[in-house]
A and B are shown apart, each in its own frame.
Chain A
């Protein structure tokens, strides 16, 4: 009895030790891969940063007037952002290589999954960046135009356009990566429809007297002289 128990203990100890011994090279490989990837990331990041600075990447990017960069992006220098992106990509790849040393089947599945969804993630990221840029551009244009038209709710219009574009873009990005499924589309439809309905009600109910007065004035009075009539600008 005691002998069998001792045998079982020995077997389990041997199994655990064997397992640990089998994991050790993988762990060392992971450590080495991470260290090497950090080193490589630092080197590549430095090279990319120096190259981009030498070609005046920040200035060139700023010269593209159509490209409205996010505030955080311009504040932290686009060169630094790109260099860090490269560094972190190298580190992530290094970690994946290190994990592959433990279990090839597990990691290959993980890697396949990560790389399989990478195009969708990147497309969603691009969508978000474009959406953000577009939202800023359009909202600023609407805001300035509305102010120049003397619309008292110009700020609200600009803000509305901004959030409309942002929400639309976010819904598109989530739909693209398959997060949320039909809920995203449904939620967006409800939100968008709600906004339109609210606006319609606001104009239809809240401003009906104003619209009636305006129409009455237009019908009964001769056209008013523009306020800046005496002025010739050019």
Chain B
């Protein structure tokens, strides 16, 4: 489906088009799951007030068209259901386009995409996402998920620190699947029949910052569903970082002017977790890194400067207990790969897959440091990493502006 017309929407809602909130349940598949999802969304909206009317879009017919009080109407949006991995790999534009289109027609104040499903989709989660838009006037609510120490590592290692350093806002949830938008967003994004500008999750937050929209983060009591098994790490990195780096290239004029980051309002807090989680064996990752150092010299020398290669060589000689990939080195490595992606130094797919052993080295280093820590302690460690990215940002700006002069 591309975008809804007002006639189509009126037909599906029996004329009751106007709604305060539009919600797309993109993660619920099957009649039973959809009915349960609608029930929880309704309960969540009730927490915000009894007078709110809502339109809930589902991926297929569940046999429910309205709630008992008639304030929530259910329509089939015929959108492609969101699975965890396609959210990252391909453009879930149908969902966003349908959402914004319906939101504009319905005159909605808030529009939410909720792809979390099952028991994790709770009324409290719905309220957490919608409330900042309805009550506090924010334009985009990004999700802050329940996170174990080793959850969302790619986000922690690259996506969040890089986005934060580039765009100057501290928003962690951009690889999430649940977002809420205001009517301002619907008016700006995804108008017309052409492809909406919203293409990938890594696009959302940077574009919102560039557009000067008010962004906040809401803690949701759900753990982000993982990528399905069988997806190899190289493909995952290539898809996620490929879109992130491509997006970085588009907005270079903006982020080169940004200095340091600012926090955004955060609603809700993550519960304290006891220390001592999973014990991990980092030796296989270190061995992978050493193997890569021996074999990928011909690739890495095209991307990384000699000083970085020297530091990596030193790292190969360290034993597992003393294996530490320093934050500033990791930041420069990510920046060098970002630049190589822009310059197309080598084939982009090869480039991103050549980052995998370095990413594993970072995980090994991070895991050694935090494997007995609580989530809050790990967050402190990641904050240091983010600050290193911000400190090293001038390195990226220099190389971005004069790549030949700083060519390794």
Contact = CB atoms under 8 A, between A and B. Distances in A.
> Are A and B a genuine interacting pair, yes or no?
yes
Interface of A: 62-66, 68, 137, 140-141, 143-148, 150, 152, 154-155, 158, 227-228, 230-234
B292 A147 contact: yes
A43 B355 CA distance: 47
B49 interface: no
Interface string B266-277: 000000000001
Given A145-B353, A234-B226, A155 B346 contact: no
Nearest to A139: B298
Interface string B17-35: 0000000000000000000
A11 B92 CA distance: 96
B contact patch SS: helix
A52 to B, nearest CB: 18
A230 B150 contact: yes
A65 B344 contact: yes
B195 interface: no
A232 B152 contact: yes
Nearest to A68: B347
Given A147-B295, A148-B357, A232-B152, A62 B343 contact: yes
Contacts of B88: 234
Contacts of B288: 147-148, 150
B285 A228 contact: yes
Nearest to A71: B302
Nearest to B294: A155
Contacts of B281: 227
Contact of B150 (A137, A140, A232): A232
Nearest to B360: A228
Interface of B: 84, 88, 148, 150-155, 175, 224, 226-227, 232-234, 236, 240, 277-278, 280-281, 284-285, 287-288, 291-292, 294-296, 298-299, 343-344, 346-350, 353-354, 356-357, 363, 367
Contact of A154 (B295, B347, B367): B295
B295 A143 contact: yes
A68 B349 CA distance: 13
B356 A148 contact: yes
9 contacts: A62-B343, A141-B347, A144-B234, A147-B296, A148-B353, A230-B280, A233-B154, A233-B233, A234-B227
Contacts of A148: 232-234, 288, 292, 353, 356-357
A141 B350 contact: yes
Given A230-B150, A233-B153, A234-B175, 9 more contacts: A63-B344, A143-B298, A143-B299, A144-B350, A147-B291, A150-B291, A158-B295, A227-B284, A232-B150
Contacts of A63: 344
A143 B353 CA distance: 11
Contacts of B236: 233-234
B309 to A, nearest CB: 16
B347 A140 contact: yes
Contacts of A143: 295-296, 298-299
Contact of A140 (B148, B299, B367): B299
Contact of A144 (B344, B348, B353): B353
Contacts of A234: 84, 88, 152, 154-155, 175, 224, 226-227, 236, 240
Closest 10 CB pairs of A and B: A230-B278, A227-B284, A155-B295, A65-B344, A233-B154, A232-B151, A154-B295, A147-B292, A231-B150, A232-B226
Contacts of A230: 150, 277-278, 280
A56 to B, nearest CB: 14
Contact of A150 (B148, B287, B350): B287
Nearest to B281: A227
Contacts of B240: 234
Contacts of B233: 148, 228, 233
A128 B7 CA distance: 61
A83 B122 CA distance: 68
B8 to A, nearest CB: 35
A232 B236 CA distance: 11
A227 B84 CA distance: 22
B150 to A, nearest CB: 5
A140 B346 contact: yes
B354 A152 contact: no
Contacts of B367: 231
A231 B153 contact: yes
A228 B233 CA distance: 11
A163 to B, nearest CB: 15
A144 B150 contact: no
A61 to B, nearest CB: 10
